[in-house]
Copies of this chain bind each other. A is one copy, B any other.
Amino acid sequence: MEKEISTEEKIIAAAKVEFLAHGMAGARMQDIADRAGINKALLHYYFRNKEKLFEIIFQESFFKIIPQLHEVFNSTDDFFMIIRKFVFVYIQTIGENSFIAPFLAHEINRDPSRMIGLLEKAGGKRLPFEKMVDAYQKALAKGEIIPCAPDMLLTNIISMCVFPFVGKPILQHVLSKDEQAFREFVERRKVEVAEFVIRAIKA
């Protein structure tokens, strides 16, 4: 049984490809229509204008990367295991949609207010920083880790997880890795980044 793909879904899928590849300013409605196998008029029938369509893709991309991190911090694992899970899940998630990170980086820098608005609308959900601080303080009290500023630590971890996707072409060139080698490199990082962090902070 073939599953029916609605026109709306086809448009969303096509828009995702084009917006992620070229950004809001660089994407073309004509290209989206072509990719979806329809014409421009139909785009406007379903989504009133380019901005509305972009908003949907932006939102979907943003929440695909951000919120699942809560669950990691909710566990009762010790701090090191939390870090291992965080790194693994984060690199895994971003790697599965590797165009999202550079797309979001660009669009959020272009207009930070869009992200702010989105987070305010999503309301209750706080970003994972506080929970991470809690876990950090417990580990510190137990003498498992040395003192280090939590904002530094979180920034370091996120940097090492995300940057390889944002700077992929540069890294590929500097490290002389083709697509296959880069994929394997990312795969190794799912484990090794966490071990790197743990060595840096363990007492």
**Interface check A160, CB cutoff 8 A:** yes
**Interface check A170, CB cutoff 8 A:** yes
**Interface check A42, CB cutoff 8 A:** no
* A89-130 to B contact mask, C-beta < 8 Å, 1/0: 000000000000010011011101001100100000001110
Q: Which of A152-203 contact B (CB under 8 A)?
A: 152, 154-156, 158-160, 162-164, 166-171, 173-177, 185, 188-189, 192-193, 196-197, 199-201
B173 touches A127 (CB 8 A): yes
Oligomeric state, in copies: 2
Residues of B within 8 A of A148 (CB): 196
Chain B residue with Cβ nearest A27:
B25
Q: Contacts A105-B105, A109-B169, A115-B170 given: A152-B189 contact, CB under 8 Å?
A: yes
**Interface check A50, CB cutoff 8 A:** no
Bound-complex Cα distance A125 to B169 (A): 18
Residues of chain A touching chain B, judged by Cβ–Cβ distance below 8 Å, are 21-26, 102, 105-106, 108-110, 112, 115-116, 119, 127-129, 148-149, 151-152, 154-156, 158-160, 162-164, 166-171, 173-177, 185, 188-189, 192-193, 196-197, 199-201
